[in-house]
A and B are shown apart, each in its own frame.
Chain A
């Protein structure tokens, strides 16, 4: 029997990291309708800021977080002011914005590469390290990171919840998300809300980046490599809701850890197939439910299971059926 304590702890950690990265992505997508590929670079900026604060300046986690939040939020705000906002004014489509964000990502990533190679930290690992608190079994270690990162994610989620439900700015964001024009004519200061949205998304990326630098080594492409999983988490949640994103983040984290552990130990399948698992899950989820996990209830799940696969077949038939 496979020991699943290890994957459980891994998915807690990875899920929290993916969630906190995906939250920023979801928020900017919701409010500004940008599938923001440059979010990866905001994370990398945060990661490097964490490295600089800890390794170069010898500060602690709190200062690292502060610096990272400032750096990432600044980068995000700058990207919006210089690129996304002008494009938005020209009524660019979301594909245009996607390509523009890839352009922004290229610029930020390679500016970072130049800076990092000049500073000699092209590859760096934060001097802050996790220490094992309890070892449950082989490969299953409860470390300090397992406390910090989920705590950070939880506080981010709570803060977002309060923001969206209790504050004017948060309500403004929600209003902009559902109908921009209506929001504007209702007197919501859209420009300010937009700026705050980017600061928020960048800040979340900064937090994720700092923890990433504590968790794993940093290089200029670290965010870019993690981007697909971030998108996976965000999109599994339907790209709209905070709760959906949380579900998405932990599903991506868990599917990777559990999936490859089980496949490898039980069926001898190479761990190099790991990147496939989360992606296969995305494809499968969307084939079954075109809106992802957004608004999914337990009842829907049971209903879907009962009617599978008969309903899917019927749907395909109806799609291709000739109309009168």
Chain B
């Protein structure tokens, strides 16, 4: 008997997490022109913060002194969570806040290479940073359990029962994704957002207008990485496990694909990209065919076909919607309205007037 709760909560939660990640990437790339291909690194920081906080936190509260990364310890955490739901909820909230701060801090650090390197180089350097982090955590087991990882990160809504906790968590993730969307939209329509676009389109020009572009980039990388780290916390609490092997560069590429498929520079487009990829991921699974009543026994493994399909979809969307499913729109500002009213298509004037409306 099919049980679609798992399908729907999985789609909703993963969509939410990917949407948050993709929005953060879009802020950095679509608005500020910084292709942060080390996204998975900042994301993993959030997950590790959550895992380490929960592991050490519950151990401190229960006086447990053994190895934190065994199944027994994981089970003990889950049992502790069932008995003390309030504590876990506060761990969850604490992890969100802490991860946001730590992620933002790392984002500021990442702005150093971002200031000096051209786009493609920056991309590779950030991929390299992410891989260095992953390999280190993987091999250095005392930090976060190495490749087995930290198991037994309890659901923050454990008091609602397993199914209730799933639904509640999906709803929470969707709400956070909505919040991120609103935040990102506001940020992009704010003076900072327009400044970011000006940096993206012509760094020199914005420099000439007296903008401190390095500081702007540092700010946006801090915001983007903080958001990514928050998504990492959600990931840890949804999967109930944090393991180094999950944070491979492919995760970043998936997020990048979402942004580009949806439409870089357009937050709504990014949401469309995220839901497209998440649904695609779920409906190409053999389990989904089983739900539909097909027995998918082919001459070759259907999972290979699944990856081929995903690859083809990426190529096709890029080819037929090069601007993404929802392309970028001009930012609506009073200045733009005036310019339009005067029927004078003058993009340079847009930027100029947009800058002038910025409070000192």
Q: Do chains A and B touch in the complex (CB under 8 A)?
A: yes
CB neighbours of A114 from chain B (8 A): 300-301, 304-305
Complex Cα distance, B209 from A324, in Å, reads 11
CB neighbours of B138 from chain A (8 A): 272
CB neighbours of B318 from chain A (8 A): 87, 92, 96, 99-100, 103
CB neighbours of B139 from chain A (8 A): 270, 272-273
Which of B125, B131, B212, B315 counts the most A-chain CB atoms under 10 A from its CB?
A: B315
**What is the 8 Å Cβ interface bit string for chain B, positions 120-153, against chain A (1 contact, 0 not)?**
1101110111011001101100000000000000
Tell me if A283 counts as interface (CB < 8 A to partner B): yes
Tell me if A162 counts as interface (CB < 8 A to partner B): no
Stretch at the interface among A126-134, A163-171, A314-322: A314-322
Tell me if A94 counts as interface (CB < 8 A to partner B): yes
- Selected contact of A99 from candidates B210, B215, B253, CB within 8 Å: B253
CB distance from A219 to the nearest CB of B (A): 13
Contact (Cβ within 8 A) B118 A109: no
Complex Cα distance, B311 from A114, in Å, reads 15
- Selected contact of B319 from candidates A87, A91, A95, CB within 8 Å: A87
Tell me if B312 counts as interface (CB < 8 A to partner A): yes
Contact (Cβ within 8 A) A111 B322: no
Q: With A114-B300, A323-B212 in contact, is A95–B256 under 8 Å at CB?
A: yes
Q: With A273-B136, A319-B115, A320-B214 in contact, is A99–B311 under 8 Å at CB?
A: no
Tell me if A64 counts as interface (CB < 8 A to partner B): no
| Contact-size category for A | 35 or more
Complex Cα distance, B306 from A111, in Å, reads 11
Complex Cα distance, B185 from A202, in Å, reads 43
Q: With A96-B322, A320-B214 in contact, is A107–B315 under 8 Å at CB?
A: yes
Complex Cα distance, B161 from A14, in Å, reads 54
Tell me if B239 counts as interface (CB < 8 A to partner A): no
Q: Smallest CB-CB separation from B303: which chain A residue? A: A110
CB neighbours of A282 from chain B (8 A): 124-125, 128
Contact (Cβ within 8 A) A94 B312: no
Complex Cα distance, B347 from A258, in Å, reads 55
Tell me if B117 counts as interface (CB < 8 A to partner A): yes
Tell me if A160 counts as interface (CB < 8 A to partner B): no
Complex Cα distance, B249 from A118, in Å, reads 29
Tell me if B288 counts as interface (CB < 8 A to partner A): no
Q: Summarize B's interface: helix, strand, loop or mixed.
A: helix
Tell me if B35 counts as interface (CB < 8 A to partner A): yes
CB neighbours of A152 from chain B (8 A): none
Contact (Cβ within 8 A) A102 B253: yes
CB neighbours of B116 from chain A (8 A): 286-287, 290
Q: With A99-B260, A290-B117, A319-B214 in contact, is A107–B319 under 8 Å at CB?
A: no
Contact (Cβ within 8 A) A106 B29: no
Q: Smallest CB-CB separation from B249: which chain A residue? A: A228
Tell me if A232 counts as interface (CB < 8 A to partner B): yes
Contact (Cβ within 8 A) B214 A107: no
CB neighbours of B314 from chain A (8 A): 99-100, 102-103, 106
Contact (Cβ within 8 A) A275 B301: no
Complex Cα distance, B135 from A283, in Å, reads 15
- Selected contact of B308 from candidates A35, A87, A106, A286, CB within 8 Å: A106
Complex Cα distance, B311 from A111, in Å, reads 11
Contact (Cβ within 8 A) B315 A276: no
Q: Smallest CB-CB separation from A280: which chain B residue? A: B132
- Selected contact of A111 from candidates B123, B207, B256, B308, CB within 8 Å: B308
Complex Cα distance, B301 from A106, in Å, reads 15
Q: Smallest CB-CB separation from B211: which chain A residue? A: A323
Complex Cα distance, B122 from A283, in Å, reads 10
CB distance from B320 to the nearest CB of A (A): 10
- Selected contact of A102 from candidates B118, B120, B257, CB within 8 Å: B257
CB neighbours of B131 from chain A (8 A): 228, 275-276, 279
Task: Given A90-B322, A228-B128, A286-B113, output 18 extra A-B contacts at Cβ < 8 Å.
Answer: A35-B120, A92-B322, A95-B260, A95-B264, A100-B314, A102-B314, A103-B310, A103-B312, A104-B311, A106-B314, A111-B304, A117-B300, A235-B120, A279-B129, A283-B128, A287-B116, A290-B117, A322-B212
A contacts, CB < 8 Å to B: 29, 35, 83, 86-87, 90-92, 94-96, 98-100, 102-107, 109-111, 113-114, 117-118, 228, 231-232, 235, 239, 270, 272-273, 275-276, 279-280, 282-283, 286-287, 290-292, 316, 319-320, 322-324
B contacts, CB < 8 Å to A: 29, 35, 112-113, 115-121, 123-125, 127-129, 131-132, 135-136, 138-139, 207, 210, 212, 214-215, 218, 249, 253, 256-257, 260, 264, 299-301, 304-305, 307-308, 310-315, 318-319, 322
| 29 A–B contacts, CB within 8 A, in A order | A35-B120, A83-B315, A87-B322, A96-B322, A99-B314, A100-B315, A100-B319, A105-B311, A106-B310, A107-B308, A107-B311, A109-B307, A110-B307, A110-B308, A114-B300, A117-B300, A118-B299, A272-B138, A273-B135, A275-B131, A276-B136, A279-B128, A280-B128, A280-B132, A286-B113, A290-B118, A291-B121, A320-B212, A320-B218
